[in-house]
Amino acid sequence: MASFPAAAAWIWQAGSEGSTGSGSIYLWIALAAGVLGLLAAYLFSRSVLGSDTGTPEMQRISDAIKEGAEAFMKRQYGTIALIAAGLAVVLFVGYQLSPFTRPYAVKVVISFIIGAACSAISGQTGMAVSIRSNIRTAAAARTSLGKALQIALRGGAVTGLVVVGLSLLGVGILFLAFGGLHDPQQAPYQLVGFGFGASLVALFAQLGGGIYTKAADVGADLVGKVEAGIPEDDPRNPAVIADLVGDNVGDCAGRGADIFESTAAENVGAMILGAALFPVFGIKGILFPLIVQAINLVASIIGVSMVHSKEDEDPMHALNKGYYITTLLALAGFAAAVYFMLGARWWLLGCGICGIITSFLFVRITEYYTETRFRPVRSIALASTTGPATNIISGLAIGMETPALPVIVISAALLLSYYFGTLGLHDVTNISSYAKGIYGTAIATMGMLSSAAYILAMDTFGPITDNAGGIIEMSNQPESVREKTDRLDAAGNTTKALTKGYAIGSASLAAFLLFSAYLASIHDIVSQRVAAAGGVMPPGWSFSNINLASVPVFVGALLGAMLTYLFSSMAIKAVGRTAQTVIEDVHRQFRENPGIMAGTSQPDYGRCVSIVTGAALREMVMPGVLAVAMPLIVGVTFRYFSPEFHLHDLMSSPRINGVPLNLGGAEAVAALLMVGTISGILLAMLMNNGGGAWDNAKKYIESGAHGGKRSEAHKAAVVGDTVGDPFKDTAGPSLHVLIKLLATVTLVLAPLFV
């Protein structure tokens, strides 16, 4: 058997031969890692599903949650499939309209369909395990907190590993199928449909699941806690099963599709930028993102396997230990990848370290703004003592404060990684400094996503433990068991908040990466069309400078900023309208059946679940269609807009038959994408952290502060939490997806804007 140094030397030699040639070994390594990730997910799921399922009463409650979640997902993905099919037709027709795009029509549509299908499978698979892990976590908590924690995390790990594994396999197989080993510079552009399909499903999954979960939660809280004065998971509340279902369809399926879309879009965008550096790294620079995701999978598998907790240990300590192990392994793997694939250019490793540090800082900043032991949450709790109005004022103020530190962190990461990228490639003379720096920011994004599978496992841990606590409460288990699930639930609330911070951080870096990929794509499209028509390309022309003084650009920027606010408004109003239907149904059940509150008869849980399902699916369509349609409308409109609005120096523009190209559509979309991304990032931070702070201010009071449960301060805090719920679990997470969807849809439609 060959020694490890000999094997390493062979990989180095194989990866170094030719610009393609044996460098393809890295593609096979990435595909093998994707298969390994799915195999590990299968083994984790078998381990979880083989555990005890508790008492018949616990099983009855768990079955009701499972039935409601599966019914919602079936109807939701049926709706998404119809929308995706319609968009596939639009894409095909749009690409057929031009002789330049016609040869790519079939490939783009195929990659779009596969991306959408993989995203849907990711969400469905992860949720299928999570809704079966809740009962097993609850059953384990009757004897061991450590065992319950392990089951919940491994159940969450199935989601993380399936998401990253399918993303890796989807991109890798399509790259291979589209001739990436023979023409690696062009193949990445044909993968943009994969990212668009993933983004589309992620948006509707997050939006629909978010509307469902928060409408059920708001309705259950307002009628149960405030009006009836009953506990959160009291079986007398008709909305309690709908609330527990919502934890799965929003936080498991929705977040799974979100992270799948992040990794898929990042892979495609980084591969496009890597194609610009083909003269330097060959195929290795294009395949580098896939190897980083392969390292992510291996590191996350080890990290999850290493998590163990003592009975008296804070569950967060065990979870954090796994996170640190995963991060260190990912960093070591990242260094090895830089050594073997990027010629040991250690400044490029510095770019990856920037991304890893950024993810760590985002998690810590989110913790500061959402944890009960810090100033922001305690200040909201104190404001609750004087009523709901001061609670809401304080919460909004904290929410508006929260973007400051993250923006500084993102800015530093982008500046440093850009600078490190130029340093790492300083000896390369045939590539522009801009291309070098942008590739550095792409590597930073890869660094931030290098522990995505473990982060997603922590995120899904939250709804699993939340459901477990609800099952214990509703099945009347001993108080000692409820104390264990409360400790797990508290850790789960923290992990959900932290992973939202991670998600918006990764979305921020990924959005800039995708924006850069859009600019590179337009540049290549223009170059190819001018060359095909025998036109003139000015020396050194680049599409990297967008003129804000141009009217189409300024209008596109305004529309991009407006889009994020209009989208958020539609999402929040959808939660409000759907919550009203929940409240009306709960009131009706209390009136029609007085035995519910007396505990002598059961509520009709299924009726409430059905009402929320139908309302959420109706409400998710318009915001989603708006997000997809806006870039298309802006780009096509300004493509045919009067060219006299341009303030370019026409002598420096690409020309065909002496006529300057009208790039108004491409520029207006670039402005929409750039300003929409900035606006969306800031608004998402406000909503995520502000909503999380409101939620934990309520929990802080429930722990005994300021009068505890049923005090006036508690009632005010519940109202504030109700305002924050659609912020942090509907509009905020949906904005993560929106800013990446804008980038992927513009990448796919870029040929239609020139």
Q: CB neighbours of 417 closer than 8 A, spacing ≥ 6?
A: 350, 351, 354, 355, 440, 441, 443, 444
What does the pLDDT read at residue 564? Answer: 93
CA 610 to chain centre: 27
Residue of 648 and 436 predicted with greater confidence: 436
Nearest to 732 by CA among 694, 690, 695: 690
Q: What percentage of the chain reaches a pLDDT higher than 70? A: 92
Helix and strand numbers (H, E) in the chain are 24, 2
Task: Examine the pLDDT at 590 and tell me if it is beyond 50.
Answer: yes
The structure tokens listed for 503 are: 């998600």
Question: Token pair 């003129």 is at which residue?
Answer: 547
Lowest average pLDDT, out of 128-137, 432-441, 592-601, 733-742, goes to 592-601
What does the pLDDT read at residue 3? Answer: 41
Average pLDDT value for the chain? 83
Q: Where do the H-state alpha helices sit in 533-550?
A: none
The three-state DSSP-derived secondary structure of 165-206 is HHHHHHHHHHHHHCCCCCCCCCHHHHHHHHHHHHHHHHHHHH
In this prediction, residues 601-615 reach a mean pLDDT of 80
Q: CB neighbours of 42 closer than 8 A, spacing ≥ 6?
A: none
Tens-digit pLDDT profile for residues 241-251? 777 777 777 77
What does the pLDDT read at residue 326? Answer: 93
The secondary structure of residue 659, as a DSSP letter, is: E
The structure tokens listed for 453 are: 């599978």
Residue 155 three-state SS: helix
pLDDT-derived band at 659, boundaries 50, 70, 90: low
Distance CA 458, CA 322 (A): 10
Q: What percentage of the chain reaches a pLDDT higher than 90? A: 23
Lowest average pLDDT, out of 54-58, 71-75, 698-702, goes to 71-75
What does the pLDDT read at residue 105? Answer: 85
Distance CA 568, CA 531 (A): 43
Nearest to 19 by CA among 249, 182, 197: 182
Strands 655-656 and 659-660, by their bridges, are antiparallel
User: How wide is the angle at C-alpha 269 spanned by C-alphas 266 and 274, nearest 5°?
Assistant: 115
Between the two ends of the chain, the Cα-to-Cα distance in Å is 56
The structure tokens listed for 34 are: 């994707």
What does the pLDDT read at residue 642? Answer: 52
Question: Token pair 């995390």 is at which residue?
Answer: 153
The radius of gyration of the chain from alpha carbons, rounded to an integer in Å, stands at: 26
CB 405 within 8 A of CB 369: no
The secondary structure of residue 478, as a DSSP letter, is: -
Please provide residue 660's backbone torsions phi and psi, each rounded to the nearest 5 degrees.
Answer: -65, 140
Residue of 555 and 9 predicted with greater confidence: 555
Q: Where do the H-state alpha helices sit in 233-345?
A: 240-246, 255-276, 278-281, 283-305, 315-341
Nearest to 395 by CA among 409, 376, 408, 412: 376
Residue of 187 and 286 predicted with greater confidence: 286
Tens-digit pLDDT profile for residues 407-466? 999 999 999 999 999 999 888 887 888 888 888 988 998 888 888 889 888 888 888 888
Q: How far is CA 693 from CA 377, 681, 683, 729, in A?
A: 5, 18, 15, 13
CB 307 within 8 A of CB 147: no
Question: Token pair 């989110």 is at which residue?
Answer: 366
pLDDT-derived band at 2, boundaries 50, 70, 90: very low
Residue 693 three-state SS: helix
Nearest to 727 by CA among 214, 202, 203: 214
**Which amino acid does the sequence have at 311?**
E
CB 413 within 8 A of CB 352: no
Lowest average pLDDT, out of 80-84, 253-257, 295-299, 741-745, goes to 253-257
pLDDT-derived band at 20, boundaries 50, 70, 90: very low
Nearest to 687 by CA among 732, 623, 736: 732
Q: Report the C-alpha dihedral over residues 644, 648, 650, 655, rounded to 10 degrees.
A: -90
Q: CB neighbours of 480 closer than 8 A, spacing ≥ 6?
A: none
Q: CB neighbours of 88 closer than 8 A, spacing ≥ 6?
A: 109, 112, 113
Nearest to 16 by CA among 30, 2, 26: 26
Q: CB neighbours of 581 closer than 8 A, spacing ≥ 6?
A: 215, 219, 611, 612, 615
pTM, two decimals, is: 0.83
User: How wide is the angle at C-alpha 292 spanned by C-alphas 126 and 261, nearest 5°?
Assistant: 40
In this prediction, residues 144-161 reach a mean pLDDT of 90
pLDDT-derived band at 405, boundaries 50, 70, 90: very high
Residue of 173 and 104 predicted with greater confidence: 173
Q: Where do the H-state alpha helices sit in 342-387?
A: 346-370, 375-383
Lowest average pLDDT, out of 45-49, 72-76, 594-598, 703-707, goes to 594-598
pLDDT-derived band at 7, boundaries 50, 70, 90: very low
Q: Where do the H-state alpha helices sit in 18-104?
A: 25-49, 56-96
Please provide residue 306's backbone torsions phi and psi, each rounded to the nearest 5 degrees.
Answer: -85, -5
Distance CA 646, CA 665 (A): 11
Which long-range contacts (C-beta less than 8 Å, at least 24 apart) are formed by 698-701? 699/372, 699/490, 699/493, 700/372, 700/377, 700/378, 700/381, 701/381, 701/384
